[in-house]
Amino acid sequence: ESPRGSGEGKAMRSFLLAASAMLLIGGCASMNEDQCRAGDWGSQGYRDGLRGFPTTRLDAHARACGKYGIAPEPAPYQSAREDGLRGYCRFERGFDAGRRGESYHGVCRPGEEFAFLPAYRDGLRLHAAEAALETARSDLDRAVSWIRDREDKLDAKQRELGEDGKTDAEKEQIRSRIREVRGELREARVRARDAERALDWAEDEADRVRFDLSGRYPV
């Protein structure tokens, strides 16, 4: 894929950074007590770099470890994080991160982003297509389940109508409910047909995206 214009690249980075910031708000503790007490800040920094975390990740560690009276060691952490980033800011890792739907925190240098960002965007395309496919499958499953539920309800009401000892008023009430359930069943079948069409489209789209990317990535 050819590189995009500098304006588009800046817009993409701004969007991704904003999305990343939202994900970081209110998260769980970044380190547990054992990790804090181990004090292996070099290894922690390398792991964070390899996962593409921003420099503010150290602030999260400081908050987590502060509960145990432990402060981070910035120098070994940041040095090792830079080593980790060299493994993260690669073409292949960009695609993998996008496919998993991970946020990009703008941590790669401009020269590295030249290869990383196009691959990351391609990964996001595949992630979106596969997520839409899973949603379509779930929607169809729910629609089929609703049909079965309404069919069971209709059978139960029809059996109830055939029971002895019912007054005319009670029978009419049951017939009214049967009409309602039949209407709900028709609606459920319409939803199921719509869900089947949506699933067909999602499968085609996912296949199209995979085919489009297959020459560049292992999909």
Q: Which amino acid is at 54?
A: P
Looking at residue 29, its pLDDT comes to 82
Structure tokens at 11: 């817009």
Looking at residue 214, its pLDDT comes to 93
Looking at residue 59, its pLDDT comes to 95
**What does the pLDDT profile of the chain (219 residues) look like in tens digits?**
333 344 444 444 444 444 444 444 345 788 999 999 998 999 999 999 999 999 999 999 999 999 999 999 999 999 999 999 999 999 999 999 999 999 999 999 999 999 999 999 999 999 999 999 999 999 999 999 999 999 999 999 999 999 998 999 999 999 999 999 999 999 999 999 999 999 999 999 999 999 999 989 988
- The answer to whether the beta carbons of residues 123 and 96 sit under 8 Å apart is yes
d(CA 53, CA 170): 67
d(CA 201, CA 136): 9
Q: Which of 76, 84, 70 is nearest to 33 (CA)?
A: 70
d(CA 150, CA 74): 62
